[in-house]
Structure 1
């Protein structure tokens, strides 16, 4: 039976790569995000790809894509739909809950991939530095903590019991800092939430884990914000000498969501080429 997979931040980057993997496996994928256009574009491309090539294990063998609806050549039950919502607001999380409950009745896998760094793209400004600090810290708390917590709590009662899976996307910055303080701190806040939620949901047969990516190329998070010298430094910190790609993280998420991973819970899985250890 196909599973119902809800992915926040599913229109781009890691969220999109994760959606491709689950859709290719024949699951019913619900993409959630603030911007309608990236969600629709991703849904359309994935669906079109599945219709042309069918399901398979390698998302790159048949290209990248998605769409709203079922792909005729996809695995049984494959479907990609979208829900536009601001998950940093309780109203947005409630909206997702209402849609998912009405259309699917349950959630088998929840992937909290939405997030960002409020310091990126912020104008230098001539205002009070203390005001700017408050703006960055509050912005990162809303983008990285509330988006995960509010959606998870809204869908908590819909999680399949047993067998439900919750995966949160943290960051290497939670361990090594981010240069600004607020981004790394907001990601670190997800770790105790992961542990507490795993303890609370464990008796229902639900696992809760997080992944901590490092530098992941080909994502909006780093696009146009990383100087070549900084990129070389980040790659040099890895033990395998390469940047991560969205599929590295997506495949780890899929493994954590697999039935075979039912005894893995309350873990923060490093997906950063060993850079978390420092070099």
Structure 2
């Protein structure tokens, strides 16, 4: 039986690769994004369903949830670095507050709202996978703090949903090419430094993350829950 999969932030980067991977498995895939034209174009190219939805807007998230009588896989891929606000006329503390609020909304609350709205649609055997970041472990600033909070929330969520047979995990991605994360501002020397940090001496790809998502949603991962899996080529190691 075909599974129903929802990927937030599915118009580009990691989210798009995840949607493509599940579509290749003949799943019924839905992607979301903030901009209707971008969502429509990506959905057409991928052969999936597209829904324009700002994952930080409770009203729109509730309307999104109403589309699904049941859901098998939820992938919270919406996130990233918010655009930098012009700071010339903004008081310092107000600018700090705006930066932290934007990162928390985009990288934590988007997942919390979407998951909360859809959790009643998830049956036994379902999976929730949220995209975190190596930035939660080091040099992450407000972005990293939001991703660290995402992992902490996931542990609590897993304990709540585990008795229902629902798994919930975070993939903490390292440096990944093929995304808009650096917004075209990554210098060559910074790219080389990030690659040098890895053990396998290559950057990650969006396909690396998509394959890990697919595994976490598979029968082989039914006893993996409440975890943060680091996919970074060894740039950050755990034990």
| TM-score (norm. length: structure 1) | 0.83
State the 1:223 CA deviation.
Answer: 3.5
Alignment match, 1:50 = none
Structure 2: distance between partners of 1:123 and 1:99: 38
- 2:137 maps to 1:137: no
Distance in 2 of aligned mates of 1:164 and 1:16: 20
After the TM superposition, which of the residue ranges 227-236 and 137-146 deviates more from structure 2? 227-236
Structure with the larger strand share: 2
More off after superposition, 87-96 vs 269-278: 269-278
What is the CA–CA distance in structure 2 between the aligned matches of 1:87 and 1:164, rounded to whole Å?
20
Larger radius of gyration: 1
Q: What does residue 40 of structure 1 align with? A: 40
2:16 — aligned with what? 16
| Structure 2 unaligned blocks of 5 or more | none
CA RMSD of aligned residues (A): 1.3
**1:83-122 pair list within 5 angstroms:** 83-100=51-68, 105-118=69-82, 120-122=83-85
In 2, the alpha carbon distance for the partners of 1:127 and 1:43 equals 38
1:194 to 154, 176, 180: 154
Moved over 2 A (4+): 120-127
Give 1:203 shift: 0.8
Gaps of 5+ in 1: 48-79
| 1:237 corresponds to which of 184, 197, 202 | 197
- What aligned pairs does 1:139-158 form with structure 2 within 5 A after superposition? 139-158=102-121
Provide the C-alpha distance between the structure 2 equivalents of 1:83 and 1:46, rounded to a whole number of angstroms.
13
Check whether the contact 1:12–1:38 (CA below 8 A) recurs between aligned residues. no
Partner Cα distance (2:64, 2:139) in 1: 32
Residue 125 of structure 2 corresponds to 163
> How far apart are the structure 1 equivalents of 2:121 and 2:160?
15
Determine helix, strand or coil for the equivalent of 1:189: helix
Are residues 111 and 269 of structure 1, via their aligned partners in 2, closer, same or farther at CA, if it must alter by over 3 Å? same
Offset, 1:277: 3.4
- 1:225 is displaced (CA, Å) by 2.0
1:124 deviates by 4.2
Check if 1:228 corresponds to 2:188: yes
Q: Does 1:172 align with 2:134?
A: yes
Q: In 2 relative to 1, CA 144–257 (structure 1 residues): closer, same or farther, beyond 3 Å?
A: same
Aligned to 1:184: 144
Count of aligned pairs: 238
